[in-house]
Amino acid sequence: MPKKSKPKIKFLTTFLIIGFIGFTVCVCWFYWQYKLQQKSQQTFYKAFETSIPNRYKIHGIDVSKHQSYIYWNAVKKMKIDNISVDFVFIKATEGVATTDAMFKKNWEQSEKNNIPHGAYHYFLATKDGKQQAQNFIKNVTLQKGDLPPVIDIEKDFSVNNNILKTRLKDCLNELQQNYGIKPILYTYSDFYSNFLGEDFNSYPLWVAHYTDENEPDINRNWLFWQHSETGRVNGITEKVDFNVFAGDNKLFSNLLIK
């Protein structure tokens, strides 16, 4: 009498079912991990006390008198998982006559510690644009290796939008004529969309937007993204803004004044 084969068939069927279930579980687990990684576009760093976007390699901060005295040697030395302060924007002036109380010290010390730096002017829509540019020019000498000048505009102060744009253009043109390089425009994504728009699309943009993990919510190209205003850095007692640069080292180097 021939041997029965049913037990072998049953065993093979059970083995295949278990194997299929195991394979399916593995595929689902790896897919879940992939989606989780895709969803989490930022990593929280305890040392910096903020989340930092994963896809960018060049990081920086911006400071003013509100950060009080800064120990720039400590800022320079801080490095966590290849993230360090690769550049800094420093407030220089405001309006037609104000100079930031810590600008000179921050400018000198950041340069002494070999941190690429740039200076910014806080723009007041209520004041003449050319006069504001002259305030900046009088206080800021830019040289080889520095970042282009920056105009920081955040409020309209209830000024008519056409007047605001005219004054801002006057300020930007005056700076470009003096320094021989196109200034960078800093603002919030909403402010840009609501008050500036296409009239300023030719200017390099440094945009502030804190609620998107991947990139700022703005419909145009940008160079710098201020993604957090609650960071911490060694050598600075107060909270500080964190930024990323959109390109690689070569693009960053090309941006610097030659």
Q: DSSP letters of 97-154? A: TEE-TTHHHHHHHHHHTT--EEEEEE--TTS-HHHHHHHHHHH----TTPPPPEEE--
**Whole-structure pTM value:** 0.84
* Judgement on whether residues 15 and 137 belong to the same structural domain of the protein: no
Confidence band, pLDDT 50/70/90 cuts, at residue 35:
very low
* Residues 101, 29 share a domain: no
User: Do 176 and 91 share a structural domain?
Assistant: yes
17 pLDDT band (50/70/90 cuts)? low
CB of 121 closer than 8 Å to CB of 151? yes
Q: State mean pLDDT over 114-122.
A: 98
Classified as helix, coil or strand, 208 is: strand
Tens digit of pLDDT for each residue in 138-184?
999 999 999 999 999 999 999 999 999 999 999 999 999 999 999 99
Is the pLDDT score of 32 beyond 50? no
Q: Is 197 helix (H, G, I), strand (E, B) or coil?
A: helix
Is 170 an active-site residue? no
Same domain, 58 and 112: yes
pLDDT, mean over the chain: 90
pLDDT for the residue numbered 12: 58
**Interval 204-242: pLDDT, tens:** 999 999 987 788 999 999 999 999 999 999 999 999 999
pLDDT at site 56: 96
Residues 120 and 246 in one domain: yes
Instruction: Give the β-pairing of 87-94 and 98-99.
Output: antiparallel
Q: Which two tokens stand for residue 166?
A: 């005219």
Same domain, 148 and 92: yes
pLDDT beyond 70 at 69: yes
Assess whether 176 and 205 both reside in one domain.
yes
The residues facing 89 across adjacent strands are 62, 118
Mean pLDDT of 244-257: 97
Mean pLDDT, residues 44-70 taken together: 97
CATH number at residue 164: 3.20.20.80
Query: What is the percent of the chain where pLDDT is above 70?
Result: 84
- Find the catalytic residue in 111, 154, 212, 215: 154
- Is 81 tagged catalytic? no
163 with 122, same domain: the answer is yes
pLDDT (0 to 100) of residue 212: 79
Sign of CA dihedral 86, 116, 110, 124: negative
> How many distinct structural domains can be found in the chain?
2
Given the residues 62, 94, 146, 152, select the one marked as catalytic. 62
Identify whether residues 80 and 208 lie together within a single domain: yes
Domain around 29: 1-39
| Nearest-angstrom CA–CA distance, 186 and 146 | 17
- Whether 96 and 187 share a structural domain: yes
Please tell me the distance from the alpha carbon of residue 243 to that of residue 256, in angstroms, as a whole number. 17
3-state class of 16 per DSSP? Answer: helix
* pLDDT class of 257 with cuts at 50, 70, 90: very high
DSSP letter assigned to residue 63: E
Query: Which candidate, 58, 60, 61, 89, places its Cα nearest to that of 247?
Result: 58
Q: Is the confidence at residue 18, as pLDDT, over 90?
A: no
Closest CA to 211 of 192, 196, 190: 190
In terms of domains, do 104 and 18 share one?
no
Separation of alpha carbons 172 and 203, rounded Å: 9
54 and 25 in a common domain = no
Residue 258 vs residue 17, higher pLDDT: 258
Enter the DSSP assignment of 188: E
